[in-house]
């Protein structure tokens, strides 16, 4: 009954939505680094570094948007 998920969507609290960024960043990093890395032995380390960069960039972007919204005249 996969169709029921779209008829009755799952309600998530505001506190759980940011945790969805972890699997999103992980999947994008693994797919991107699978294409770009020279040896698959380097994949876990390179994907981990990319996940940290993506989460850091998203955090910086969020902080900048929050500061602009809060302190812009």
The residue written with tokens 């570094």 in the block is 49
Question: What is the C-alpha separation between 31 and 46, in angstroms, rounded?
Answer: 11
Per-residue pLDDT of the chain (73 residues; tens, 9 = 90+): 566 777 887 888 999 999 999 999 999 999 999 999 999 999 999 999 999 999 999 999 999 999 999 999 8
Listed by start position, the domains of the chain span 16-71
Q: What is the pLDDT of residue 2?
A: 62
Question: What is the C-alpha separation between 50 and 44, in angstroms, rounded?
Answer: 10
Q: What is the pLDDT of residue 3?
A: 65
Q: What is the pLDDT of residue 63?
A: 97
């Amino acid at each position: 009954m996969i169709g029921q998920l779209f008829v009755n969507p799952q309600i998530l609290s505001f506190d759980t939505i940011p945790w969805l960024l972890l699997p999103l960043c992980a999947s994008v990093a693994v797919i991107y680094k699978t294409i770009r890395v020279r040896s698959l032995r380097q994949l876990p380390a390179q994907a981990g570094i990319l996940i940290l960069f993506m989460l850091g960039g998203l955090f910086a972007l969020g902080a900048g948007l929050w500061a602009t919204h809060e302190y812009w005249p």
